[in-house]
Structure 1
């Protein structure tokens, strides 16, 4: 595994990107990375309101389809994307960074946790629960970020979402990630209202640590 890999392209899209358009772009970019005709990609964006269904989605977790529902190939159950939420899609070549999906997900979680710390939020992993967690103003464990990935020919797709200032009532149409006993929160709900650009800067500041952490996969398995 090389420590001299070129940095991924860092793309920031403004406006609300329709989810199907982003999905098509990710798939095309991943195919190009596999073919060796494109660089890796970190893509930061916002979506128009949408519910997405992962490969483990359960029909009963869709309570009120008030927004479009789009099946997707990522892992996980139902989640919501919408304005005020920072979505990060990663098209990274694990053939070059280590064929270890668990290491990749762990590193991704660590990156989001580190970025949240930069903006004053203590976040953590929770055993047995996918995602990024924090303590809300009522003292409850609450989900502030979601992780959902897919790996195709050892190239990653999808990534993370962090609730900066979305309308949290929009999560009411689903059981977020199939965990009805835990609330969803946001930076704004925690009293840390910031522009998305401020959180983007925190992601940029901590990105090198994320990429370095991927080196925990020391061998590439054929």
Structure 2
């Protein structure tokens, strides 16, 4: 297939918000099929918001030494990055978009994705930021130290994105102790609930969607030069 796919005829991206946990392997299979269909021009783009049962996922750079206590299923995710945890109380955003119809800029996509999460967290009174040399979304924990509140991991196949982000609304933070999250040992993990913010998944989804226009607008622009270039942990195929 030559040239960009004309997605206007397929309509705007589909939004899917799950209320029940989706097994991780099932989500991987569905993402792969949807990614291929988007690339062929036979399916709409997709924003898929969901949760998973407890699982550890291994990115393409995962170091087995960082799997400390595999108390849950461990699945090779195919995305960039290292080990991460998904489970109840953590909202996942799988973002399947065709970058051929936008700026073909992988770093720009990751930068826009980070900004979308950061701005949405701000709507709930949580200041967060990117950190040079550290993947993810960071904030100030209750002890005053920096801690991760969101993770970013993407894969790009034929210029169609897969995977996306996770945000800790109210997960069991002790489950992160089974791994070195994203290979970063010296910083902890926090959540909106730990910071005193009670946010239901439905409220998070509404706030995220309210800022979707800004996210899509950012995809039309090249990545700012100051963006953290280590953040784009992608696989191009």
TM-score, normalization by structure 1: 0.95
Name the counterpart of 1:138: 143
Quick check: 1:53–1:69 contact (8 Å CA) kept in 2? yes
For residues 161 and 203 of structure 1, the distance between their equivalents in structure 2, rounded to whole angstroms, comes to 12
Structure 1 position 157 matched with structure 2 position 132: no
Indicate the RMSD between aligned Cα atoms, in angstroms.
1.7
Structure 1 position 215 matched with structure 2 position 220: yes
Q: Which moved more, 1:6-15 or 1:137-146?
A: 6-15
Structure 1 unaligned segments of length 5 or more: list them.
none
| Superposition map of 1:175-190 within 5 A | 175-190=180-195
Aligned residues: 218
Name the counterpart of 1:64: 69
Structure 1 position 74 matched with structure 2 position 65: no
Name the counterpart of 1:13: 18
Name the counterpart of 1:87: 92
Quick check: 1:33–1:93 contact (8 Å CA) kept in 2? yes
Paired residue secondary structure (1:209): helix
For residues 62 and 210 of structure 1, the distance between their equivalents in structure 2, rounded to whole angstroms, comes to 34
Structure 1 position 114 matched with structure 2 position 119: yes
Quick check: 2:17–2:205 contact (8 Å CA) kept in 1? no
Quick check: 1:103–1:217 contact (8 Å CA) kept in 2? yes
Structure 1 position 33 matched with structure 2 position 38: yes
Pairing partner for 2:27 from 22, 30, 40: 22
Structure 1 position 170 matched with structure 2 position 175: yes
In the TM superposition, residue 2 of structure 1 has moved relative to its aligned partner by: 9.8
Structure 2 unaligned segments of length 5 or more: list them.
1-5, 224-237
In the TM superposition, residue 4 of structure 1 has moved relative to its aligned partner by: 10
Paired residue secondary structure (2:37): helix
Quick check: 1:97–1:217 contact (8 Å CA) kept in 2? no
TM-score, normalization by structure 2: 0.89
Paired residue secondary structure (2:125): coil
Query: What do the CA deviations read for 1:58-111 (whole angstroms, capped 9, x no partner)?
Result: 011000000000011100000000000000001100000121100000000000
